[in-house]
Amino acid sequence: MTQSLTILGSTGSIGTSTLDVVARHPERFRIFALSGHSQTAKLAEQCLAFRPQYAVTANEAQAAELRTHLAAAGCQTEVLHGEQALCDIAAAPETDGVMAAIVGAAGLPPTLAAARAGKTIYLANKETLVVSGSLFMQTAAQSGARILPVDSEHNAIYQVLPPEKGCLKQNGVQSIILTASGGPFLHTDLADFPAITPEQAVKHPNWQMGRKISVDSATMMNKGLELIEAHWLFNCPPEKLETVIHPQSVVHSMVRYADGSVLAQLGTPDMRIPIANCLGLPQRIASGAAALDFSRLAALTFQQPDFERFPCLKLAYDALAIGGGAPCVLNAANEIAVAAFLRGQILFTDIARVVEHSLAQHSRSGSLKTQTLADLLALDNEVRHTAAEFIQSGSLKAGLCASAKLKPFSATCHSAKKAA
């Protein structure tokens, strides 16, 4: 049976990798709809290759440009634009599965729409769970939506957990271990961190990713967001979430069991592997990724993360411990800070300072109690404004930062301890 797919964020790295896998299995998949943010020419190429029924752009100007491209090529794809159009293609009766690959909080509304409609959701958008974990999982449970994790780490965990996921404790799961490469600055002298440029930060040693997520990997905020995701995806208590640095990016995550066993999923650092795993379930299908050659692996090494080197990871643990809207604050402030860094407005080391300031400010203000999507979106918007104002205020250049103490993460979680 052919599966009809909507790909949210088709022009990004996950979207293009998904289309690569889909193209290898034309008998299994057809594309119902594609969406892209600003790469209109690339979206046009994808429409010509896969002939979706719909394509969605960010605004009317981009939609008009895309229509011109498609009309000249005789392509009948209908072009829409805006947030409501994204929600419509995600929830459409004609689509079976939705690849949620829009970067940032912008991916939240259409992914929630897919969950309400009971779709199979291939979840690559971290912010859906970081910003609205409780709401999203409740919505999926109520509608019968199926959530399959595409992130390499969460997909690895999904593969090595028991088939009946259920209660981790009843299945003998002692802890979940997320691996992190450590990014391009794992061995850079800390004194050189303020001089790190955007061009250096986006050059990941192992993975080919977009600019924003590459910076998140360099600060290890990416791993912090993944910790919060894992908490919701696998109903895992924070104290049972471990993080370990594994520079080779071969072991993608592990699960520690009560009998002393540790099960791991290994593979080359290629996102087509977890994508193919999700799309093909319950079968295994070809991804196009190179096979892992054990004879060429010199060594697999592991080490504990250092919070002095990676303060964003510590802030993510803090946000997870605080709960409520704190992860939403963490994510929104980070998005503003990373964008400012990529524009050359702030230093690499200022990213964590902006996030810390935002968490402290909103913890004091009592604005972290959120229950609805409207509450979360309002908090997200407020944090973005206050973070931008903090950046523009000159406080970073003056060496000022909010110093309010955040509730520390439980010392019982050894993965949250600073490495010696």
Contact 377, 333 (CB under 8 A): no
Q: Which of 248-252, 321-325, 365-369 has the lowest mean pLDDT?
A: 365-369
Closest C-alpha to 208, from 181, 237, 235: 181
Superfamily of domain 3-149 in CATH is: NAD(P)-binding Rossmann-like Domain (3.40.50.720)
Q: At what angle do helices 13-23 and 40-50 cross, to 10 degrees?
A: 20
**What does pLDDT average to over the chain?**
90
Number of helices (H) and strands (E), helices first, in the chain? 15, 11
Structure-token pair, residue 47: 């429409």
Q: What is the pLDDT of residues 237-258, one digit of tens each?
A: 999 999 999 999 999 999 999 9
Q: Is residue 402 very low, low, confident or very high in pLDDT (cuts 50, 70, 90)?
A: very low
Q: Is residue 399 very low, low, confident or very high in pLDDT (cuts 50, 70, 90)?
A: low
> Does residue 404 surpass a pLDDT of 70?
no
Domains of the chain, by residue range, sit at 3-149, 176-268+305-392
Contact 344, 296 (CB under 8 A): no
Q: What is the pLDDT of residues 187-199, one digit of tens each?
A: 999 999 999 999 9
How many Cβ atoms are within 10 Å of 351's Cβ, its own excluded? 26
Amino acid 155: pLDDT: 97
Q: Is residue 366 very low, low, confident or very high in pLDDT (cuts 50, 70, 90)?
A: low
Q: What are the two backbone dihedrals, phi and then psi, of residue 88, each rounded to the nearest 5 degrees? A: -65, -45
- Average pLDDT rounded to a whole number, residues 310-324: 94
Closest C-alpha to 162, from 151, 154, 170: 170
Q: What is the CATH number of domain 176-268+305-392?
A: 1.10.1740.10
Q: What is the pLDDT of residues 133-142, one digit of tens each?
A: 999 999 999 9
Q: What is the pLDDT of residues 79-131, one digit of tens each?
A: 999 999 999 999 999 999 999 999 877 899 999 999 999 999 999 988 899 98
Amino acid 405: pLDDT: 40
Structure-token pair, residue 227: 């910790």
Q: What is the pLDDT of residues 163-206, one digit of tens each?
A: 877 789 889 999 999 999 999 999 999 999 999 999 999 988 77
Pick from 19-33, 93-107, 296-310, 318-332 the range whose average pLDDT is largest. Answer: 19-33
Amino acid 298: pLDDT: 82
pTM of the model: 0.87
